[in-house]
Structure 1
Amino acid sequence: MKILVIRFSSMGDIIYTTPVVRCLKKQLPDAEVHFITKPAFKYIYDNNPYVDKLLLLKPTLKETIQDIRAEGYDYIVDLHNNLRTALIKLRTRVPSSTYHKQTILKWLSLKFKWKLVPPVHLVDRYMKAAEVLGVKNDGQPIDYYIKAQHQLNTLLPATHQSGFVAFVIGATHFTKRMPNDKIISICKEINLPVVLLGGNDVKANGDEIIAATGEKVYNACGITTLDESVFLVSKAQKIIGFDTGLTHIAEAFDRPIVSVWGGTVPELLGVQPYKVKDVLIADIELECRPCSKFGLAACPLGHFKCMRDIDENQIKQFVNS
C-alpha cells in the first residue's frame, strides 16, 4: 500500500503531523509512506526514518498533481483540508480521508469568545484522519531529528555550557511575544544562565535584553541556524517560549517547558505542549482574549494586557524549582 500524507504549512502544524506518519509506518510496516509539504518546511521531515519519500509542493497546482499521479498512491491522508488539497483529491481520484478543521466552531469561539472547540490536541485531531486505515495513536511525543552533530562549545560561551535555560523570544506576530521589559525581569530572577533564541527579526530585542541583564544572558538570535537552535533547546535544562514553531519543536525532547500565551489560546488551536511531562501554561483570562487565531501585528485594544499582566512569579518559580 502506498500512502501520501499532506500538510503544506506551517511549522507548528507540520511538526504535529509526525506522530501520524510514525504510526502509519510502524503499524502498517508493509506500507510505503510519503509526505508532501512546501519547500520552506522540508527541514521538518529531513532525516525522519518514518517517511519513505518527501515530495515538495511545486509552483503550480497542475505540476503538483502530475507528481502525485505519477506516484500511483492507494490512499491520501489530508491533514491540511483547504481548497488546494480538495482539488488534489478531486483530480487524482485517490481514496482519502481528511482532517476536520472545525472552522465554524473556531470562528464562533473567536468572534463571541465562546469555548466551543473541544480541548482536543491537534495530534489527536489529525489521528482521526488516519483511523480509517486501522492506525491508532501510540501516545508517544512528536518527532524531530537534528540534522548535524553540533557541540555546545562552538555555539555558546563557556559561562553557558554547563547548564542553561533556553528562552525562545521569537514569534511571527507581535501579540504572541512578551514585551522586553517582562523578559528582562524574568531573566534577572532565573538561577541559571539564559540563552535567547529566535531569528534576525528579534536580534535587536535580544540585544536590548542583554544590555539590561549582563553576561548572564547570551543572545543567540540571528546567530544560530534553526538546526543549531533545535540542538540548543534539546540540551537546555528548561525552556520558556511563546506560541511559535521552535517552542513546539522543543516538545520532541521532553524538557520542562513554560508555554507563554498572549493573544492566542492553546485550546482553540489544539497546540498546547504534547506529551511533555513537566509543563506550565502561562496565560491570563481576559474578556478580549483570544483576539485572533494566529496572532496580530498589534493589540486591537492597545493595552496588551494578555502579555503584560501574566504573572511573572509563576514562571520564575517553575524555572527555578
Structure 2
Amino acid sequence: MAPKILIIRFSSIGDIVLTTPVIRIAKQQVEGAEVHLVTKKVFYPVVEANSYLDKVHVLNDDLNTVIKALKEERFTHLIDLHNNLRSRKIKKALKLPTKSFTKLNIEKWLAVNFKQIHKLPNIHIVDRYLETLSEFNVKNDQKGLDYFIPEKDRVDLKKLPQTHQNGYLAWVIGGSYTTKMLPSDKVVEVLRRIEKPVVLLGGPEDAENGKLIAGKLGSNVFDACGKFNINQSASLVKQASKVLSNDTGLMHVAAAFNKPTLSFWGNTIPEFGMYPYMPQHPERSTIMQVADLRCRPCSKLGYKKCPKKHFYCMKLIDADKVVEWVSAKL
C-alpha cells in the first residue's frame, strides 16, 4: 500500500514556508506517496499553488469537522510539525503511526532566562522538521525552501510607479511583534541615504507605519504595505534585487527565492534555528544584530514593547553597515 501522508502545520506564514522541504521530499523520495497538509484557512494562500501537495485541508474554527474529513481520507502516516493541543487532538482521533516535531521549549527557556544559548542545537529547524521523515530513509536534497505563486497573483511591475519598474529593493517593515521590528525612525535614517528605488512591504497592520515612513521620504520609496495580498507580496519579493527584512514570514519567502537578504534580529536570535535557509547559497544571507547584549534573547516570540524599555537590540543596529550592504554589488 502506497503511503498516504498527512502533514500538520496550522500557522504561520514563515513556519509554513519552512515546512516545504518536508512536503517536497516526502512527495519526491517516498515512492508512490500521496501528501496532504492541514493548515488554517487564513494561511491557505501560502500553499494553494504548491505542486507537491495532493490536497490541502483547511481548518476553520470547527476542529471536529476537520477531524471527520481527515478520518475519511484513511491516511497511513501522520507528520506533526506543529505539536500543540489541536494537533494532538487530531493525532488522538486518527490513531496513526506518528512522528512529531520537538519544539525545544526547555532549551529555548534556558536561552531566554539564563542566556544559555550553547544549549541550543546547532541545526536549522528545516533539518529538525526533516527528522520526522526518518523512517522513510529520505535525504535532504539541499534544494531549500519552496514558494509557488499562483498566476493570478503574479504582479506586473508596470503596476508600480515608473521609478520602480526597472528594479528595486524590497524592505519588509512588518513583524509579528514590535520587538522583532526595526523602528521606523531607523528605517527612515537608512532610506534617506539610499538613492535606489525601494518598495516597503507588510500587511494591513503595517499600513500606518508604511505611510509614516514613506511620507518622510521622496518618490524613490513606494509604500506597498496592505496594498497586496501575501502571494502578491511574495511576487514583489521575487522580483526585487535585494531584500531587507525583520525576522518575519516574508524573510523566509525571500529565502525560498534565494534572494540576497539582510535580516534584522531584535529580541530573537538566529540560534533558535529559524534564520534564512538557503543551503545552495548561504552567502546570500546576511545577519544584522547587536551582539553581546546581556538581555538578548528576551523572548522566543516577542513583545509589544521592550521589557527593558531601551530597545537597544534594534535601536543600536548600525545604519552605516546597512547602507554598505545595500550599496555592495551582487
Q: Which is worse superposed, 131-140 or 304-313?
A: 131-140
Which 5+ residue runs of structure 2 have no aligned equivalent?
Answer: none
Q: CA deviation at 1:200?
A: 2.4
Partner of 1:63: 65
Partner of 1:280: 286
Query: Which of 137, 142, 161 is the aligned partner of 1:139?
Result: 142
Matched, 1:177 2:184: no
Residue 151 of structure 1 and its aligned partner are, at CA, apart by 0.5
Quick one: percent identity of the two aligned structures? 43
- Contact 1:194–1:216 (CA under 8 A) maintained in structure 2: yes
Amino acid at match of 2:302: G
1:98 to 100, 118, 122: 100
Q: Distance in 2 between matches of 1:229 and 1:152?
A: 12
2:204 counterpart (193, 200, 203)? 200
- How far the C-alpha of 1:41 sits from its partner, in A, is 0.9
Q: SS where residue 240 of structure 1 aligns?
A: strand
Per mean C-alpha deviation after superposition, the further-off stretch among 14-23 and 211-220 is 211-220
**Given the alignment, which residue of 4, 12, 15 partners 2:14?**
12
- After TM superposition, the score normalised by the length of structure 1 is 0.96
**How many aligned positions are there?**
319
Secondary structure of residue in 2 paired with 1:22: helix
For each residue in 1:157-213, what CA deviation from the matched residue of structure 2 results, as whole angstroms up to 9, or x when unmatched? 000111110000011211111111110111122242111111222222222222322
> Which residue of the partner structure matches residue 47 of structure 2?
45
Which of 322, 325, 329 is 1:318 aligned to?
325
C-alpha spacing 1:58/1:178, structure 2 compared with 1 (3 Å): closer
**Distance in 1 between residues matched to 2:155 and 2:201, nearest whole Å:** 16
Q: Does 1:234 align with 2:241?
A: no
**1:152–1:102 distance in 2 versus 1, CA, 3 Å:** same
2:125 maps to what in 1?
122
1:298 and 2:305 aligned: yes
**Which digits, 9 at most, give the CA deviation of each residue in 1:120-172, with x for residues without a partner?**
11111100011112222111121111112420011x10001111100000112
TM-fit CA distance, 1:89: 1.7
Paired letter, 1:35? L
Q: What amino acid does structure 1 have at the position aligned with 2:44?
A: K
Are the equivalent residues in 1 in contact too, given 2:170–2:201 (CA < 8 A)? Answer: yes
Q: Which residue of the partner structure matches residue 33 of structure 2?
A: 31
Q: Check the 8 A contact 1:191/1:320 in 2, yes or no.
A: no
- What is the alpha-carbon distance in structure 2 between the residues aligned to residue 209 and residue 84 of structure 1? 39
Q: Is the 8 A contact 1:25 1:31 kept in 2?
A: yes
Question: 2:315 — aligned with what?
Answer: 308
Q: Secondary structure at the match of 1:13?
A: helix
- Structure 2 residue aligned with 1:153, among 131, 152, 158? 158
How many Å apart are 1:245 and its aligned residue?
Answer: 0.9
Report deviation, 1:58: 4.3
Which amino acid in the other structure matches residue 87 of structure 2?
T
Q: CA deviation at 1:15?
A: 0.8
| RMSD after superposition | 1.3
Shift of 1:236: 0.5
Q: What's the secondary structure of 1:167's corresponding residue? A: strand
State how far apart, in whole Å, the 2-side matches of 1:207 and 1:61 are.
38
Q: Deviation at 1:308?
A: 0.3
For structure 1, the residue ranges without an aligned partner over 5 or more in a row are none
SS of residue matched to 1:273: coil
- For 2:219, the equivalent position in structure 1 comes to 215
Do the aligned partners of 2:45 and 2:230 also contact (CA within 8 Å) in 1? no
Q: Read off the aligned partner of 1:231 and give its amino acid letter.
A: S
Q: Matches of 2:217 and 2:60 in 1, distance apart? A: 46
Alignment of 1:69-80 (within 5 A): 69-80=71-82
